[in-house]
Chain A
C-alpha cells in the first residue's frame, strides 16, 4: 500500500513538473499532437526516468522531462519524445510519437522560430518518418527526400530522428521501454 502511495505521489509530482516546466504554447501543442494522433480525448503522460549512466550512453538528450509513456484509460497506447533541434539560426521544437511497439506513428514540428526552412513542418515531408522503427537508420536522399531551400532543417530533423531511434533502441535493450 505504502509503495502504491509513493508511486502515485511520484507520478503526480512528475506530471506537475512537466506542466510547470514547459511553456503554455508547447504544452498545448503536445496535447493536440497526442490527442489527434492517437484519437483519444484524455491521456496521461508518464515520465520515463533514466539513470545517469544510460543518459550518457544515448545520443538524444534525456532530461526526465522529454520522454514519456502515453496512457489512456490506464492502458499503454504509445510513447512520446519531445525535443529541440537546430534550424539555420535558431532551434525548433518537435515531437516524435511511437506506438506501443516503438514504431513511429507521427512526427511533428511544434514550434519553429525563423522564416527559413519552415517547409519541414509539412506532413507531406514529415510522413516519411512514419513506420520507421528503433532498428532503422535514415539517410537523406535515400530514405528521406530533401527539401530544396530547407537543407539545414531537413538534415537536422533527420539527424534528430535517427538519434531518437537509436536512443529508443538502447532503452529497449536496457529494459527501460
Chain B
C-alpha cells in the first residue's frame, strides 16, 4: 500500500500552494483520480486524515472525482470509453485499443479555502 505516500505528496503540494496564499487553511481538496493511476480510493481516503495532521490542511476533507479510461478507437474513429480496467477495448465496438488518451489522472484541481477575512 503506497496510498500514505500519495496522501503525503498531496498534502505537501497543497501546502506549498497555501503558503503562497498567505498561509490560508484548506477546508477541502478536490482530486481527480483515474483507474490507471494505481491508487486505491478508499485506502487514500483512509490515509488522508493522517497525512493532514499538524498541517494547513488539518481537518480538511478530500473529495475524489473518479475518471474513466478513454481510448481512441481506430475502428470507430473517435475517443471511446474502455470496457474496464481488465479489458481495454472500445465499449461500443469491442475492438482492443492501445491508444489510451486518459485514465491515469492523479491531480488536485480545486481547493476550498477558509476565508480568513470574513472569519473574524
A binds B: no
